[in-house]
Amino acid sequence: VLIKEANCLHGGGCKPGSERAVAVKKSPKAVHPNVTVMKNAGLVNLFTKIRDAHTGAAEFVQYSKRIMRLLVEDTVAVLPSTPRIVNTPTNVRYKGQVSIIDINPEKVCLVSVIRAGDSLLESFREIFPACSVGKMWIQRNESSSAKEAVHSCTKLPPGIEEMEAVVLCDPMLATGGSSLTALNTLVKDYGVKPERIVFSNVISCPEGLDALAKDYPDVRIVTSWVDEGLNEEKFILPGLGDYGDRYFNTI
Please list the alpha-helical segments (H only) found in 164-238: 177-184, 206-215
Alpha-carbon torsion (221, 225, 231, 235), positive or negative: negative
The answer to whether residue 115 forms part of the interface with ligand PRP (CB under 6 A) is: yes
The answer to whether residue 177 forms part of the interface with ligand PRP (CB under 6 A) is: yes
Helices 43-51 & 57-76 angle (0-180, nearest 10): 140
The answer to whether residue 186 forms part of the interface with ligand PRP (CB under 6 A) is: no
Between 14 and 101, CB nearer to ligand PRP: 14
- The residue among 76, 74, 54, 44 whose CA lies nearest residue 225 is 44
- State which of residues 175, 185, 201, 231 lies at the interface with ligand PRP (CB under 6 A): 175
Stretch that binds ligand PRP, among 11-19, 84-92, 96-104, 242-250 (CB under 6 A): 242-250
- State which of residues 110, 121, 149, 166 lies at the interface with ligand PRP (CB under 6 A): 149
- The residue among 240, 197, 230 whose CA lies nearest residue 108 is 197
The angle subtended at Cα 81 by Cα 75 and Cα 84, nearest 5°, is 130
Between 132 and 178, CB nearer to ligand PRP: 178
Q: Strand pairing partners for 149? A: 140
Q: Which residue is nearest to ligand PRP (CB)?
A: 244
Chain contacts with ligand PRP (rule: CB under 6 A): 113, 115-116, 139-140, 147, 149, 170-179, 208, 234, 242-245
